[in-house]
Chain A
Amino acid sequence: MPIRLEDYQEVAGPGVIEELRALAGRVAGRSMQHINSTPVGGGVAEILTRLVPLLRELGVEATWDVIKGDQAFFGVTKAFHNALHGKPEQVTAEMYDIFRANTETNLRDMNFTGDAIFVHDPQPAGLIARKQEIGRRWVWRCHIDVSAPQPDVWEFLRPAIEQYDAAIFSMPDFAQRMPVPQFRIAPSIDPLSDKNRTLESSYVTSVLEKYHIDPGRPVLTQISRFDRFKDPLGVIAAYELVKKRHRCQLVLAGGGAPDDPEGGEVLREVQQAAEDDPDIHVLLLPPFSDLEINALVRGSTVVIQKSIREGFSLTVSEALWKKKAVVGGAAGGIKLQVIDGMTGFLVHSVEGAATRITQLLGDRRLRERMGENGYQHVRQNFLVTRHVRDYVLTMLALEHPGESMIYLS
């Protein structure tokens, strides 16, 4: 049975759905087109999968299109991604040409149907070139940490971004000095999706056993793409320190995404680092493994997200929603989700991660308290219903440019 808006009433809290209906009534019949670079894999695609149907149920004509790109293009955009996150990348003139050529192809093939067009991340950012011809309201939705971008890549993108009517960043640290209104909208999780919904404990146990994980011993888990910014090798190093005191196991699980060609290389490095320890489980999960990911997190004792650079990392909210204390790298949006000492611990090093994991493994009540706090924190701030509201508000803000108090009769 399809999930309906009403189904969120219980999990999101009283009044949330009524407020959404009241606000959406003010933009009913308008169309909102989302454009990104991948239909599956990664947080953006996951969010849009639920957000678009919910907007439609509210009367907003929401649609979702995906740009085309070959391996060369996604190689370039991965380099852009790294460079915008502040990791030095050699970006050549040829790479910029590949980006421009791919943008031209998509400009030719894409139908721009929205009254408001939300373009996600740098890959499709060049589509703004069509604005001059067709008008509409254009929003650049940036999901990555651009607080300290590599200057040449940012300057390449900036002229395009400055043509948008608004830009959205996940946290204030990512905002830029530019003549475009900017809004802060955090990403969100869908509490009713296969990745987050409640599961039978027997299923959780069966998934652990399927992957030869012992449910009787502590399980540390990091769910993420195999990406150097997620520091999987640092997680293994922290686990090795913890293992001196606790007979624990480590699960490093993630999938690939078509727009991330670097993943295979990182996976090989991780497998190599883990090969001598049967208690380290490196799992490359195929698409549509959401139920198993859900079970792996629910079956974990402590969840880790030891990122060095991070856009947001929805895996943190997903773990908090399951009442798991999270040890997270003090990077990007993790700092919004892990309230240090309340919903988990923020760490800056392998040693810090190991210390906090050890502390949590030795204190069940602390884990439970943080887990309960984390659940409440996500409920109030990081559910998809809040995200839907913020996108509706963005549409309304675009219709009232320059106004700070907007009266909706």
Chain B
Amino acid sequence: MALDRKIRVLVAKVGLDGHDRGAKVVARFLRDAGFEVIYTGLHRTPEEVAMAAVQEDVDVVGISLHSGAHMALVPKVMKYIEEYGGDLSEMVILVGGIVPEDDIKRLMEMGVDSVFIPGTPIERIIDFIKKRVPEKKRIKKERA
């Protein structure tokens, strides 16, 4: 089942991490895949990312981190999304960056939909979004 409208994606850089080449490349390729991509720019706080996700009513939040602070920052972004009225049950949360295997497991347990480490082919990210966004919305509808 495809979504009957454009998928909106927030590509976010959070915290003290100045490496956004990866985030920009991903944003560009997601654009070419037909998504509407909003880039936050560098050094955003978890609150800012969460507020942007709510106001822009995005389907996907992709958080890019190379600082090693993912275990501290990603849960915070998710917490604030809910606090600002966002609905994590229909929002796809992705993490991209240098994340050790153990942490990937823990992030997924916290509700992150997928973690993409350096070297991930861009098609994998695109396919995942195309599949996961409608899937999550359908599950939510069925539960309602």
Q: Do A and B come from the same complex?
A: no
